[in-house]
Structure 1
């Protein structure tokens, strides 16, 4: 069976519209109900991928392999909803995210238009691009021995990533909940082997979903998405951005950096603690 490029094309523009609507609603809630507080977009980030996956699942009926469609949709939704719930609970009752405070402070003119240009439009575009493996994969056909290898490898990568992200977030939440740890560095559990197990987990999840899209050569397009997500997590809005300020808030962080891998999980360096 040939790849349904026409149906995929329709899927791509429909999900583009859906993505715009999702982030427009997020903006409306931020401005109208939350009085200019914008950290809710971080909750929407995970939900957007789940919505794109479900939209693609509906549109791909009759084109892609049913088992593959279900698998990709379920894995994406589990990841996206879990992330959204985690961020919602983490932010509940706290102050606005300092990143968004800084962006708003730099506004010249209407702060809402400034946030649209600096935050909402970029995140919507990135979410749609990163979601390409989820869309491409649901139009593929899982057939032949190679399909088994691709499916198993993709699910294993997703599972490793999901465990790292979920366990890492839970360990950090427990650490922060203990007043005795205030001002200290989290270097236990998974955080002993990588300074960012949650970000590493995010990347592994998306490489897993990208591998699942490789049932057809069209899935190679998704490699761009996985690479973009990894770059954002390592050099963009993830680890690099966080570490620019965390050293000032955690006196022991410099030593932690010396002995602990920045991204990939590795044994701590000997002789440094």
Structure 2
């Protein structure tokens, strides 16, 4: 299938799905469903791209499909559980408050932006699926990166969920396990995961373009939809405790914490 047609079909499909989910969030009042669809969209688009690219090495295409869908199922499943069991994410509550009477109009275009985002982050898989060389050591390194990243995300999510489940910790800041070395270990391992597809794409024509995947993800996490709104919400709910956490703990890359302030 023509690559440009595949990209067009992928964008139209995600745009239609996000429009339907926008209608659903109007009914439920919870905009968090967009995060479920974004990740699953990347996984399903990868399956479509892998199926459509008959010119690539079969082993690499199968590995890409397994890794991308494994990631999508884990992420979207976890977010769906949060959407169904917890109040609406504070980030979306803040957006609606700031947008006022134009909230639903702007939310529609926000959902469409997420549709474009799903397509954008599935494009590295489209490139990687065209690699013709046999599956090799660099590809294997990509699989190992994926395993480390997913294990890290699972561990960070489990540690945070266990901390929040204890009522004694209400209003406190999680510093358990990985959260003692990074304020956002889940985001760090999410970013690390995107390097797996760079390794799988390096042997493909234009494979170097997949470097923009982790670069863009780093930008979004640090400057746009990741850390800034998450920390703004944390400061509102935890105040000085979170400010101290910001002072002592690396924002993104895991590192040894700085010493805490001693009060007298």
Normalising by structure 1, report the TM-score: 0.87
2: CA distance, partners of 1:103 / 1:256: 25
What per-residue deviation string (whole Å, max 9, x for no partner) do you get for residues 249-268 of structure 1? Answer: 22322222222211111222
Corresponding residue number in structure 2 for 1:3: none
- Matches for 1:19-168 after TM superposition, within 5 Å: 19-31=14-26, 34-60=27-53, 62-107=54-99, 111-117=103-109, 119-143=110-134, 148-168=136-156
Corresponding residue number in structure 2 for 1:245: 233
What per-residue deviation string (whole Å, max 9, x for no partner) do you get for residues 201-220 of structure 1? Answer: 11011121222111224122
1: CA distance, partners of 2:257 / 2:85: 35
Corresponding residue number in structure 2 for 1:187: 175
SS at match of 1:16: helix
SS at match of 1:48: helix
Contact 2:90 2:233 (8 Å CA) reproduced? no
Count of matched residue positions in the alignment of Structure 1 and Structure 2: 261
Deviation at 1:193, TM superposition (A): 1.4
SS at match of 1:215: coil
Unaligned runs of 5+ in 1: 1-5
Normalising by structure 2, report the TM-score: 0.90
2: CA distance, partners of 1:244 / 1:83: 23
Corresponding residue number in structure 1 for 2:13: 18
Q: CA RMSD in A?
A: 2.1
Mean alpha-carbon deviation: is it higher for 173-182 or for 216-225? 216-225
CA distance 1:35–1:90, shift in 2 (3 Å): closer
CA distance 1:270–1:100, shift in 2 (3 Å): closer
SS at match of 1:269: coil
What per-residue deviation string (whole Å, max 9, x for no partner) do you get for residues 35-75 of structure 1? Answer: 34321111112111111111112212x21111111111111
CA distance 1:111–1:242, shift in 2 (3 Å): closer
What per-residue deviation string (whole Å, max 9, x for no partner) do you get for residues 171-190 of structure 1? Answer: 10010000011111111111
2: CA distance, partners of 1:110 / 1:267: 44
SS at match of 1:252: helix
